[in-house]
A and B are shown apart, each in its own frame.
Chain A
């Protein structure tokens, strides 16, 4: 028996290996990654990993766990092809590995900056441990940093850099940060917090080119502005890693296409996590999500399916971002939202935004309000929409009471 081979050892792949064992799978499990590091948590790379020059990676599982669970690790090896007829992976070193079931958990790659000068030294991305180590090594000599891209990675990095006393400017093409990921109210509140902590934001700004002799020295905007920079951090999005799947003839469309049980167009091959485009239950259409929650919940669901208990994946998405001291949490998906209820605290600060689609609660964005986030997850997952004045109150006691009474009613 060739067992299950998992390609990619990020949050999704590593959880899949662990969950297969927890679900009682006794055949061989092999976790394959082209990264040499023991599988690690990705979110801390832009935050705690940067704080100290010698901060270790935070392992997803202890080193001994893999042997204890009889999970074979093949790290630091590149896969060159998936041979579907032979159910076999080909490695760059010429070796091969057979599978009965293959799980693609290949994740995403950082979208590369294409402006002239993008290949200068001192231009960093923040996707892998290797990226993070390279950037961390350059930080002691960096007094001025330009961050290109006002998404989650860029803003988390900007807040971390500003906290170190580095002068940071964030360049965002759109008119506000965080794009369509959050409501305008949350984007404004996050932007205001960053500015209050010393970050300079330039929205509606385009990159013309980067200049420097070997090492980057400045970022030039399309309006002619020259921003001196010792290093540049690029966070302009991510693209699903589908090259192997595509070359193997698997259906791909903004990710490796799966059905509701996460099976690809080849019934022996499955896809989970950031690389998978699947029928998203809450949206009612195909979607690809980039999040830790999506990665680990899909891994758990697939482990059930592969151990004889087929599961349709329908978990409610949730998401978080620690931007400096600000804790942003999102429950649900706001893609189809057409209405928003904005809740402020007594001191005027933004507490949450409740987002509705055709009158139905679909997502709640909260700032430093973890209880509200957790309750929102339950409300949305259970299809409950509290009365408008209760949502607008932002009052936990009222929200809890609404949830309890809705739950007490027969479905």
Chain B
């Protein structure tokens, strides 16, 4: 279980429990975090689970693979250095305390 904080588009924060091995996108949509549409359901195709990494144990994040980078690069909201697709990040204990800002769309 990892506790992940999502800063929603209106600026409010939501702390979500992400079960081990589940993606942060699933945890966010299950908890009803605003702005995460996750249109493609986690196929790394729609970039509607786009978040910016704000703070926390960022060293515990998985390395970004090409498909995620390529999808992010031309998403509707411009990619930033801290951009990630939350459907490509599986929760681990070590990620507890991570704070993400929802970009969504």
Contacts and interface: CB of A to CB of B under 8 A. Distances in A.
Interface string B61-105: 000001101110111000000000000000000000000000000
Contact of B43 (A43, A63, A296, A396): A43
Contact of A292 (B26, B34, B40): B40
Given A370-B71, A374-B73, A322 B43 contact: yes
A62 interface: yes
A183 interface: no
Interface stretch (A64-72, A259-267, A350-358, A386-394): A64-72
Contacts of B34: 22
Contacts of A329: 45
A248 B93 CA distance: 55
B96 to A, nearest CB: 20
Given A296-B37, A370-B70, A62 B75 contact: no
Contacts of B66: 371
B73 A371 contact: yes
A69 B35 CA distance: 13
A370 B75 CA distance: 11
B43 A293 contact: no
A378 B39 contact: no
Given A15-B37, A43-B41, A320-B45, A60 B32 contact: no
A61 interface: yes
A184 interface: no
A76 interface: no
A43 B40 contact: yes
Give the dominant DSSP class at A's interface. helix
Nearest to A369: B70
Contacts of A15: 37
A296 B56 CA distance: 33
Given A292-B40, A374-B47, A62 B31 contact: yes
Interface string A273-315: 0000000000000000000110010000000000000000000
Contacts of A370: 44-45, 67, 70-71
A371 B29 contact: no
A377 B74 CA distance: 9
Interface in A34-50: 41, 43-44
Interface of A: 11, 15, 22, 41, 43-44, 58-65, 68-69, 292-293, 296, 320, 322, 327, 329, 369-375, 377-378, 396
Q: Which 7 A-B pairs have CB atoms at the shortest separation, nearest pair first?
A: A371-B70, A65-B32, A374-B74, A62-B30, A41-B41, A370-B70, A375-B74
Given A370-B70, A374-B71, 17 more contacts: A11-B39, A60-B29, A62-B29, A63-B30, A64-B31, A64-B32, A68-B32, A327-B43, A329-B45, A370-B44, A371-B70, A371-B71, A371-B73, A371-B74, A372-B70, A374-B47, A375-B74
